[in-house]
Structure 1
Amino acid sequence: MNLIAQLLPESHVLLGLEAGSKKRVFEQAGQLFETSCGISQTLVFDSLFAREKLGSTGLGQGIAIPHGRIKGLKQATGAFIRLAEAIAFDAPDGRPVAQLFVLLVPEQATEEHLQILSELATRFADRPFREKLAVAPDAVTVRQLFSA
């Protein structure tokens, strides 16, 4: 099992999420991590938002990888979110974002953090992969795509 699949349980896959803004996506991600991992929604939101202020985590091609460091987190965790409608994300190509991988890492996990981000960027650079994710019918299929 690859690095990404290890940190993406099926319960962390949200498909067809209604969110009209980056802020709303971060709120929803915070709610997901609070419910499933016990990480404060506010802490998740603040961490993601603080990172986004440094520069957009939009990659282009309708993809973003918002990420943040969480004090006290024992191991990295992630969530895949596919939006019902793409939103503005200040991506380098100017395109709105519809697919996001939200990554949370321990406060000191620099090497692991960079390794995961690199693997995600490589996966999302693959057009057939993005296209399959865009039409995946359920969380099981999404997780299988990340596991392949």
Structure 2
Amino acid sequence: AFEQAALLFENHQGVSRSTVFDSLFSRERLGSTALGHGVAVPHGRIPNLTQPAAAFMRLANPIPFDAPDNENVNILVILLVPENATQEHLEILASLAKTLSNEETRAQLQSLTDAEAIYDLFNQQ
């Protein structure tokens, strides 16, 4: 999943694939970013990134993610933030955690197929 995310950010944000992968993998080694209920929010700090960037991924086959509830993960919200964006980083993570803790929101994320509808779901919270 990190490889796919890294390619996505490379193509759309101009951040090198290896930088994204290394940042996400390094953070994950500190402790799982899985929230439970099949959801994870991998995140990393990226040098020279000017603003936060995020990507939503829904995996066809859930993967082990060392979640607190031991449930495999198929919903990933991958967040990249500028290297020095400490407070903003924490605020975004808190907002994502709140949004993703809502059972109805998680159910919608499992079924929505339109990218704009998924984007709107995150922005109405």
Note the alpha carbon deviations across 1:46-85, whole angstroms, 9 max, x for none: 0000000000000000000000000111110000000011
The runs of 5 or more residues in structure 2 that have no matched partner are: none
SS at match of 2:79: strand
**Normalised TM-score (structure 2):** 0.97
Give distance in 2, aligned partners of 1:128 and 1:28: 27
Note the alpha carbon deviations across 1:67-117, whole angstroms, 9 max, x for none: 000011111000000001111000110000010100000001000000000
Instruction: Output aligned runs, 1:41-56, within 5 Å.
Output: 41-56=17-32
Aligned residues: 124
Instruction: Output aligned runs, 1:1-148, within 5 Å.
Output: 25-148=1-124
Counterpart code for 2:83 = E
The runs of 5 or more residues in structure 1 that have no matched partner are: 1-24
**Normalised TM-score (structure 1):** 0.83
Give distance in 1, aligned partners of 2:36 and 2:13: 29
Percent identical residues: 52
Q: Greater relative contact order (Cα 8 A, min sep 6): structure 1 or 2?
A: 1
CA RMSD between the two structures: 0.6
SS at match of 2:35: strand
> Which structure 1 residue ranges, 4+ long, deviate > 3 Å from structure 2?
none
SS at match of 1:73: coil
Give distance in 2, aligned partners of 1:137 and 1:70: 29
